Amino acid sequence: MLFAILIVFSQRKNPTSTWLWFMVIIFLPGIGFILYLFLAQDFSKKRMFQLKEEEDRHIKEMVLCQGERIRKDIYRFSNPKTEEYEGLVNMHILTSQSYFSDDNEIELYFTGKEKFEALLESISKAKRYIYLEYYIVRSDSIGRKLISALTEKAKEGVEVKFLYDGMGGRKLAKNYFKEFKRAGGKVAVFFPPFLSYFSFRINYRNHRKICIIDGEEAYIGGFNIGDEYLGLSKKFGFWRDTHIRIRGSAVEELKWRFIKDWRFAARDDITHNTDLPAKRSSGKSGVQIVSSGPDSQWASIKDGYFSMITKARKRIYIQTPYFIPDDSIYDALKVAGLSGVDVKIMIPHKPDHPFVYWAGLSYIGELLEAGVKFYTYENGFLHCKTFIMDDFVTSIGTANLDIRSFKLNFEVNAFIYDEEINRRMVEQFNLDLKLCKEITTEVYDNRSNIIKLKESFSRLLSPIL
């Protein structure tokens, strides 16, 4: 026990999680240490940092040069309104090496049907390469349809690489990639499980969901690959999510995001197509692709959320399936609400992870008192990871508003600087509101003692959920 406690205190910097694990080890001697090894130990963090530093040298110089030009007022944004958010742009440049480009065209998708139809059409037109990276992959009808399309492209000589997470894809049929590999397709697994169908490593999951095609277009958002994302699950019913397709220079940033993840998981370099720059478009949207994870020095996506909340003057609209804010986000939301900013947060009515759901509800009370409004989506399951600020900045990607996404998972978001995209996202948010119930102070105060007990217990686990 002394040895275990020494390890916990020497490796963990967050006091809350340190004391939580300390209590677990004290009250569950032996078992608690085993849980720590599998749930919280930083087995591969040093290696990830070293690999990332080597790879980032290729991009860092160019991005920091852009940041220097912005700070010296030499760089000119094509949309003058972006200058108001220069601090946010520069922060992402410094912390995530996120290059800013403003020639992007963005298409929004709010249903799985729309997203998968567009993705399959893009795949059918691919000429050079297709790179996919997903957290969850199912070998169901949409999963088989996708792998069949990819197999055909591999037969045509298109370079096709498929990266999926070892936990999210643990239930894949053993022969799922058989024909795909035979056709020349390549597959890599991010932290594969030690045993079939079971992974001891709950932390450090690759939660990213992206696809890059020929350097001309890329997809990023909340949809994984499975029939439930088409609304075909009896448990969840309609699945409400948000995904985007990007055409323009930001595709290059997503391509490099995939290449770095592939090198880590596959222990294999990508020699083809890396020197082909993304095709510019006639779009006008400013975009920064922001990544974060255990291999990042900064919690870049969380810091982006925090900056958006603190700088908002008109509105903050959030959609998230899991609401477990850390202290900084919690306080920022509270101050925004008290300052008169229109803060609306939409969460699911149906939980898919009970402890996470109950922990999320425990944070609502004080925020309601501060003027923050909460809504539960009643028309199926809400899985969007969207953040809307005022009338210009929007974030769409894979990161939830929870501690796991901030620190323990590998995530990627597109921070978008564009009035029209913001307007359309606000419009969709208001449409979703019609399918919601508001959690008023009266409703919250009248919840049963059983629910309050579940919330209190789940909140204690918040740092590791």
When the pLDDT of each residue in the chain is averaged and rounded to a whole number, the result is: 87
Residue 145 has φ and ψ, to the nearest 5°, of: -65, -40
Residue 385 is among the residues annotated as catalytic for this protein: yes
Name the pLDDT band for 43 (thresholds 50, 70, 90).
very low
- Catalytic choice (115, 385, 407, 454): 385
Asked if pLDDT for residue 130 goes beyond 70, the answer is: yes
Sorted by where each begins, the domain ranges of the chain are: 2-39, 45-65+105-285, 300-464
Asked if pLDDT for residue 88 goes beyond 50, the answer is: yes
- Catalytic choice (92, 161, 207, 454): 207
The percent of residues above 70 in pLDDT, for the chain, comes to 83
pTM for the full predicted model: 0.88
Specify the DSSP element, H or E, that contains 324.
strand 323-324
- Residue 358, pLDDT score: 74
Summarize the confidence of residues 287-298 as an average pLDDT. 92
- Catalytic choice (209, 243, 334, 454): 209
Note the helical H segments in 13-44.
15-27, 31-39
- Residue 373, pLDDT score: 98
DSSP-assigned states of every residue in 220-285? EES--BSGGGGT-BTTTBSEE--EEEEESTHHHHHHHHHHHHHHHHHS----SSTTSPPPP-S--E
Quick: pLDDT tens for 297-332: 899 999 999 999 999 999 999 999 999 999 999 999
Quick: pLDDT tens for 184-216: 999 999 988 766 555 556 778 999 999 999 999
Name the pLDDT band for 361 (thresholds 50, 70, 90).
confident
- Residue 205, pLDDT score: 92
- Catalytic choice (390, 402, 418, 432): 390
One of 3.40.50.2000, 3.30.870.10, 3.30.9.10, 3.40.50.720 is the CATH number of 45-65+105-285, namely: 3.30.870.10
**C-alpha span between 146 and 120 (Å, rounded):** 7
**C-alpha span between 162 and 177 (Å, rounded):** 10
Name the pLDDT band for 179 (thresholds 50, 70, 90).
very high
**C-alpha span between 334 and 367 (Å, rounded):** 6
> Tokens 């601090």 sit at which residue?
87
300-464 matches 45-65+105-285 in CATH topology: yes
- Catalytic choice (214, 261, 303, 418): 214
Name the pLDDT band for 5 (thresholds 50, 70, 90).
low
- Residue 62, pLDDT score: 72
**C-alpha span between 315 and 302 (Å, rounded):** 18
* Residue type (1 letter), 89: V
For the chain, the 3-state helix, strand and coil shares in percent, each to the nearest 5, are 45, 20, 35
Name the pLDDT band for 104 (thresholds 50, 70, 90).
very high
Asked if pLDDT for residue 11 goes beyond 90, the answer is: no
Residue 235 is among the residues annotated as catalytic for this protein: no
- Catalytic choice (383, 402, 407, 454): 383
DSSP 379: S
Residue 383 is among the residues annotated as catalytic for this protein: yes
- Residue 13, pLDDT score: 55
Asked if pLDDT for residue 152 goes beyond 90, the answer is: yes
Quick: pLDDT tens for 228-278: 999 999 989 999 999 999 999 999 999 999 999 999 899 877 655 555 555
Higher pLDDT, 59 or 419: 419
Summarize the confidence of residues 121-143 as an average pLDDT. 97
The yes or no reply on domain 300-464 and CATH 3.30.870.10 is: yes
